[in-house]
A and B are shown apart, each in its own frame.
Chain A
Amino acid sequence: MFLLAIDWTFFLEKLILIAIVVSLALVIAMYSTYAERKVAAFMQDRIGPNRAGPFGILQPLADGVKLFFKEEIIPETSNKFLFILGPAMAMLTAMMTCAVIPWGSKLEIFGRTISLQIADVNIGILYIFAVVSMGVYGIMIGGWASNNKFSLLAAMRGASQVISYELAMGIALIALLMLTGSLSLKTIVEQQMQTGHYWNILYQPLGFLIFFTCAMAECNRAPFDLPEAENELNMGYHQEYSSMKLGFYLFAEYINMFISSAVIVTLYFGGYDIPFVNETLLSPNLAAVLGIVSLFIKIFIFIFIFMWIRWTLPRFRYDQLMNLGWKGLILLALANMLITAFVMLYIIK
């Protein structure tokens, strides 16, 4: 009988947390599209969307409504099941990563301590890697099921790009994990919050740079947006998609951007740590709320940097991309790992 005794409040509180995190991710992705267009406009001396609502603030809603009312086209020669599975997969994997990111420390409500993390898995980073690498199936299945050579080519490019960059990303992470000695994201954040311990960016600047570059490549964003290189592949792997299925693909990209920013912040920039403030002196609830605010400010800064780079750099050529990945970043990451290992073994000890 005791086996069946489920802590229902725990269940409920996790459910609410999931609902909040998922809807937050969706809203942020929605407004990232707006921010993207505004940032692009400002960087090109334009004004950007300003017709829907004040400052164009309702633009994402208008876009969403438009996508919903577009004609739904499933090509005759496509594999119907896979064709629908593709965007669903992209969206699912994008959303699944939210689960292990610590959004804050603990909140105390009604005498209960609520952890602001959906699941504190002790292999958090591995989980993220596993889910992110599933994301390539969204692209691959979509491109394959479209039965269009341009989609397929784009999907192949996307797959090879993601796989190549995942390698460098993983090696860059190993160096970080040597420092932290833990795979749990919560532990990593708490280590960075300790007094006398700084953010991991100070210990792993090169690792951060590699990780950041790879994250950009994983998100298929410029300068690594080869899967959707319009001038070579028409529209890329979502060429045959229309209506909300296309919307899902585009949306998944923005969610991915949000999640990668969150992961970068968690790993290298202290997560929900408030800079120059000792959280233990504040009341726990206040510290938690301020921590969430600081986490989101950091995330928004990174989203902005993602966009900033997109509107600055031209796209890499395919061979340049592969050269950078295999001959540049992986070697750098390996060197970084070896140096870290050496320092850990002989200098710190």
Chain B
Amino acid sequence: MPATESWQANKKTERMEALTSRVQAVDRRPMNFWEKIYLPAILRGMSITFRHMFRKKPTINFPEKQRPFSRVFRGMHILNRDEEGRERCTACGLCAVACPAEAITMEAAERKPGEENLYREEKYAARYEINMLRCIFCGLCEEACPKDAIYLSETFTPADYARKNFIYDKKDLLIPNPVTDPEGFAKAKGEQV
């Protein structure tokens, strides 16, 4: 026996392990009369489709009914406030550095006297933008933030008609003030109201 043939024979005996237990060999014998008239097979098929008519539908009617998200769902970002309603972000830029999609830009500003009720620390983000088309919702910004300022909430980024509307700035991202609007704050945090 030539070497190649024995190698092939050897290969044949060493069949690959089946990937599933549901493998079925295709029957290629010519059809007999009973199969040729199609009717039994057609009736069997029709009984299958008929039974499917009474199955429970897996559809969820989306706008009316919504599936709850997991607690660890990474959705649209929020810029957090502390319990007195002051912005936590200090515009350190760690989130922007951590972002693999380079979706975050910001500009820092110094807190002026009399703004202590607005910003938690001496430095704050005057401009804070996330490009939602670039964002991959990985959550690295959330991990990088030393001030607990940015969170990924349990909501979607809504659809829009223009690309420019997907660059979210502070007014889109900031969480409602817990002092003046506690309900909105809780909702944005994703807690059950």
Contact = CB atoms under 8 A, between A and B. Distances in A.
A42 B50 CA distance: 9
Contacts of A52: none
Interface in A3-52: 39, 42-47, 50
Interface in B17-64: 39, 42, 45-46, 48-50, 52-53, 55, 57-59, 61
A42 B52 contact: yes
B61 A308 contact: no
A46 B57 contact: yes
Interface stretch (A64-72, A175-183, A236-244, A309-317): A309-317
- Most chain A CB within a 10 A radius of its CB, from B45, B53, B55, B61: B53
A208 to B, nearest CB: 13
B53 A309 contact: no
Contacts of B42: 309, 312-313
Contacts of B39: 209
A111 B39 CA distance: 51
Contact of A43 (B49, B58, B59): B49
Contacts of A309: 42, 46
Interface in A170-199: none
B61 to A, nearest CB: 7
Q: How large is the interface on B (under 10, 10 to 19, 20 to 34, 35 or more residues)?
A: 10 to 19
B46 A46 contact: no
Nearest to B41: A313
Contacts of A42: 52-53
B59 A311 contact: no
Overall SS of chain B's interface: helix
Contact of B55 (A45, A209, A311): A45
Nearest to B39: A209
Contact of B46 (A47, A50, A209, A312): A312
B46 A45 contact: no
A103 B39 CA distance: 31
Contacts of A50: 61
A44 B52 contact: yes
A160 B132 CA distance: 56
A46 B49 contact: no
B53 A43 contact: yes
Nearest to B38: A324
A43 B48 CA distance: 9
Interface of B: 39, 42, 45-46, 48-50, 52-53, 55, 57-59, 61
Interface of A: 39, 42-47, 50, 209, 308-309, 311-313
Contact of A45 (B50, B57, B61): B57
Contact of A47 (B45, B50, B53, B59): B59
B58 A45 contact: yes
B45 A313 contact: yes
B45 to A, nearest CB: 5
A43 B57 CA distance: 10
A288 to B, nearest CB: 33
A209 B37 CA distance: 12
Contacts of B49: 43, 308, 311-312
Given A312-B42, A312-B46, A46 B53 contact: no
Contacts of B53: 39, 42-43
B45 A45 contact: no
Contacts of A311: 49
B40 to A, nearest CB: 13
A43 B50 CA distance: 7
Contacts of A43: 49-50, 52-53
Given A308-B49, A313-B45, A47 B55 contact: no
Nearest to A209: B39
Contacts of B59: 46-47
A312 B39 CA distance: 13
Contacts of A47: 57, 59, 61
A309 B47 CA distance: 10
Contacts of B57: 45-47
A209 B39 CA distance: 10
A50 B59 CA distance: 12
12 contacts: A39-B53, A42-B53, A43-B50, A43-B52, A47-B59, A209-B39, A308-B46, A308-B50, A312-B42, A312-B46, A313-B42, A313-B45
Given A47-B61, A308-B50, 14 more contacts: A42-B52, A42-B53, A45-B55, A46-B57, A47-B57, A47-B59, A50-B61, A308-B46, A308-B49, A311-B49, A312-B45, A312-B46, A312-B48, A312-B49
A72 to B, nearest CB: 28
A312 B51 CA distance: 12
B60 to A, nearest CB: 10
Contacts of A312: 42, 45-46, 48-49
- Most chain A CB within a 10 A radius of its CB, from B39, B49, B58, B61: B49
Contacts of B61: 47, 50
A308 B49 CA distance: 8
